[in-house]
Structure 1
């Protein structure tokens, strides 16, 4: 169902200042939920994100025999038997990429049939490289369109040996295989093929989480990991704040000349998107070329910020953004040119933002189609801090990763028209 809700941002008359605590990292929360679900015993995950994406993961794990309690807004208590069970119905995961990719691999460990499915957006997101890797291991896995739904007929823990995977479209394929590997019956070697890989830093996040749950993982070459068949041990695990969410607040700070305390210094984040902080701090003198390959979820933030830069910015290394929740390159180009003609254009898989500081203070009515993508909604809110008339369509889509986003901005002094949409 298409939402008809909309929200118009009223540019604040003063710098945005105050304290906002970003939610827990989606990437880390969904990794920790799966690992805790695969472990034997009870794990306590604190500082976790409660959003659409993590709820889909939690509900899927419950359907596979894992007990998950939620004593407060930031904690999951996860009790597993060390084995996942075949669910009685297909697993519906909305448009949660992490949950879909991770559970597709984990389902191979189940003795029985598992169908991994999502909404109409997820059914357009590629998963063929992961399915092909599973099939190379003798696992009965099919995805007729190359996208979900995926059907896996598992036979329980398997002897994996060596598997190769093309991580060019998404590092999540690699992370999915890595997290499955300790539950096999012998050592596993995972090797990357191809010249490129999506954000490598997210594989580092995966390995760190695996080690926290007792796995033994060694990176034996730039493209190879060796994983021992240790299984996982239940543990208490603290989730750090979400760096992707922090980028909007860092950008809001520099755009308005304010001071926003996130409670966590930029240098303490382990997530790849945190590297965007150094770039944001250079505003209004952003680099002429920004390589977004290793901080993909920060690109929408940087692209909207670039609209107000002193000089044009070209974004490169972002081809993977075409297969995210929507085609984000196209969505950014459309949104920016809705604000001002020729403000952005696509060249192949590059995005060029022309930049125009004179936009500040103007009234430029523009309805921003978010394409149901949380990052498009949250990034274009930044344009509304400096331009009158910016309206975000389907503002509720931020619930995917940051349900309190609009309230967070309001706490800093941002006002809206159409608040009944929240």
Structure 2
């Protein structure tokens, strides 16, 4: 029987990486099964400090890394980060998340490369976010708040575009221990087995 090495489920892997970074746990080292989105997530979370004291976090075309990274750095008090994305990424929707983070006190300004973010300590209470365009807006807040502001309630009064992904975020945020590697993506097995079924 041929052994199949399945890729990681990127939605799960990126959430686990974000939570591990928030909790001060070791981030994983890439291996041959990592996809581009996972590499982007790791780059954003490990963004180095430049000579000017500003970090540069490059998400490239990865929307998940960009949105989750935005919330992550907005919750790091005293951090100043330029979150970069490619031209296509900068055209994708982010306004509802930016507005929610500003209401939490973060300074977020548009710059040619993407966004300049100054992080703050998030308050308790509640914050609303319009997650009709992307559940990642709510997921980013839920995941980061679970560590940075445990008493902050995330409210989505207008609904959520993909409820199962938000549910995944809540479930992972509730786990006290998140190991690595995460589960593999069994949907990818179709690529290997489908030709036999045709």
> Is structure 2 residue 29 aligned with structure 1 residue 63?
no
Residue 97 (structure 2) pairs with residue 99 (structure 1): no
Partner of 2:123: 159
Output the TM-score relative to the length of structure 1: 0.41
Q: Which residue of 2 aligns with 1:302?
A: none
Q: Alpha carbons of 1:249 and 1:62: their partners in 2 closer, same or farther (altered >3 Å)?
A: same
Q: What is the Cα deviation at residue 176 of structure 1?
A: 0.3
Where does residue 185 of structure 2 map in the other structure?
A: 242
**Contact 2:8–2:183 (CA under 8 A) maintained in structure 1:** yes
Residues in 2 aligned to 1:151 and 1:51: alpha-carbon distance in whole angstroms: 26
Q: Hey, what does 1:208 align to over in structure 2?
A: 171
The two structures have a TM-score, normalised by structure 2, of: 0.82
Give 3-state SS (helix, strand or coil) of 2:67's partner: helix
Which secondary structure does the structure 1 equivalent of 2:137 belong to? helix
Distance 2:139 2:155 in 1: 12
Deviation of the 1:24 alpha carbon: 0.8
Cα deviation, 1:176-195, whole Å, max 9, x if unaligned, reads 0011102335501111122x
User: Cα–Cα, structure 1 residues 95 and 43, in superposed 2: closer, same or farther, change >3 Å?
Assistant: closer
Q: Is the 8 A contact 2:7 2:35 kept in 1?
A: no
Pairwise CA distance, 1:249: 4.7
Larger of the two Rg values belongs to structure: 1
Structure with the larger strand share: 1
Q: Which protein is richer in helix relative to its size?
A: 2
What is the CA-CA distance between 1:211 and the residue it aligns to?
2.3
Structure 2 residue 4 is the aligned partner of structure 1 residue 20:
yes
1:247, distance to aligned residue in structure 2 (A): 5.0
Structure 1 regions of 5+ residues with no counterpart? 1-16, 66-85, 215-233, 259-422
Deviations 1:239-296 (A, max 9, x none): 112255345456x34xx526xxxxxxxxxxxxxxxxxxxxxxxxxxxxxxxxxxxxxx
> Does the C-alpha gap of structure 1 residues 161 and 167 become closer, same or farther in structure 2, counting only changes over 3 Å?
same
Distance 1:172 1:87 in 2: 29
Correspondence 1:212-291 to 2 at 5 A = 212=175, 214=176, 235-249=178-192, 252-253=194-195, 257=197
Contact residue 26 and residue 49 of structure 1 kept, 8 A: no
List gaps (5 residues or longer) in structure 2. none
Residue 99 of structure 1: how far off its partner (Å): 0.6
Shift of 1:204: 2.0
State the SS of the aligned residue for 2:129: strand
- What do the CA deviations read for 1:95-147 (whole angstroms, capped 9, x no partner)? 111111101011112213212121122111110110011122232223479xx
